[in-house]
Amino acid sequence: MSYFDFFCNIVKKDPLNNESIKGTCYQMCPQEETNLREHAGLVHLLEVSGPTRQLVKSYSRSAADSNMAIPRLLRPFSVLKQTIEHLLLSVTQRNDVSLACLYDFLNNRLRAIRQDMTIQRLPPDECIQLLEPMIRFHVYFGYRLSGCSINEFDPVLNKKYLLECMKWFLYCCDILEGQTKSNKVDNDLSELFSAWTLDKKPVQKLTCDKILMESLYILCNLDDMHPLFRFLTLRPEIKSAPLLRLAYEIAIANLKGNYVKVCRLSKNLCPLTFCAFNLYLPTLQRKALHIMSHGYSSKQLTVPTEVVRRWLAFDSNADVESTCQHYGLKANGVVHFAKGAFRSDVELIKPKTQVKDKLKLSIEEILSYGVKSKTKPNC
């Protein structure tokens, strides 16, 4: 059972539970684990910087014989917040390890945070604050590492964690929404969200942006209708937010197979939504090439490579040609489309990752930028 399901069950069974366990571990790593790991030589490279050590509780699967619900092993909300800040704002600054190694470490420690959250049954307003940066993390690293081999990075697992966080986050939002509605308190939720800042330094803070999360939910699941059904039931104020509107329009254009419009609109996405979209791009390109091989099917006629590059947001003409050849279409300066030639049985081409040049944003900016205030999301 995923944490999310577990969380739902708890909320269902007793909405006003006062008997949940409160953690009493005020360090990022419980003393017992610190002792054990130091003793057994299990301190991660990323937990050591120079002379100082900062261990962070690592994830361990709950097993039948182990009792996880011990207060002194669980970190309360304030410590979890501090931990996530440490992980995402300080540890990510390290450049002495590979990106895949960094991901691996952070993924493990974030998972442990979610475990602590679940066991303590944190209330929804606290959950969303911790989940939002996690979602950003998984989207961003999913993009940066998409070119890696399967040994270094597993995109399927990353997507699984991402969806777990997202569904949890959105579920919490719905509960909060329901509460404000029934209490008839006219307080603006977005105010509640944006009031949360982590750090003293003005640049280094994590934000909690509901619009961005709703947009990501649509763009990470472009082949699925259900995020769109969700979108339609949102409040009009949220629906009309420019970024979310854009995400919806992209999804609708995609629904109708309008690849030209999808790629054109995608130019206006903000960095993280761009990351999410970019992971979908190879699927879109394959679908579009398949459609075009029917639409432009001819023995003599061709379409210039340059045009295909423009329509389908390829990086270069060489990219177009190698992708076309991969799917069985002849390409040399021009693409020869033919119904019969397209091979739908070959594997999807892996996404290209040239992140640095495209995003030009530091990781702390990625983890902290907000989209709400701007009328037009810039890229």
C-alpha neighbours within 13 Å on the C-beta side of residue 77: 12
Q: Tell me which residues in 48-77 interact with other proteins (CB under 8 A).
A: none
268 binds other proteins (CB under 8 A): no
- CA distance linking residue 212 with residue 366, whole number of Å: 12
Q: Tell me which residues in 178-197 interact with other proteins (CB under 8 A).
A: 178, 181-182
260 binds other proteins (CB under 8 A): yes
317 binds other proteins (CB under 8 A): no
Nearer to other proteins, 75 or 167 (CB): 167
Q: What DSSP string describes 304-366?
A: EHHHHHHHTT-S-HHHHHHHHHHTT-EESSEEE--TTT--SSSPPPPPP--HHHHH---HHHH
Q: State the minimum distance, in angstroms, from the CB of residue 125 to other proteins.
A: 16
- CA distance linking residue 252 with residue 373, whole number of Å: 25
Strands 303-304 and 334-336: antiparallel
238 binds other proteins (CB under 8 A): no
256 binds other proteins (CB under 8 A): yes
Which residue from 45, 41, 148 is spatially nearest to 105, judged by alpha carbons?
45
And the tokens for 329?
């279409």
* Interface pattern 148-177 for other proteins (x via CB under 8 A): ---------------------------x--
Q: State the minimum distance, in angstroms, from the CB of residue 335 to other proteins.
A: 10
* Stretch near other proteins under the rule CB under 8 A, chosen from 97-105, 162-170, 298-306, 369-377: 298-306
258 binds other proteins (CB under 8 A): yes
Nearer to other proteins, 12 or 201 (CB): 12
* Interface pattern 198-237 for other proteins (x via CB under 8 A): ---------------------------x--xx--xx----
C-alpha neighbours within 13 Å on the C-beta side of residue 345: 2
Q: What DSSP string describes 207-251?
A: ---HHHHHHHHHHTTTT-SHHHHHHHTS-HHHHTSHHHHHHHHHH
- CA distance linking residue 173 with residue 251, whole number of Å: 22
* Stretch near other proteins under the rule CB under 8 A, chosen from 54-62, 113-121, 127-135, 252-260: 252-260
Per CB under 8 A, residues contacting other proteins are 12, 15, 175, 178, 181-182, 225, 228-229, 232-233, 252, 255-261, 290-292, 294-298, 301-304, 307, 310-311
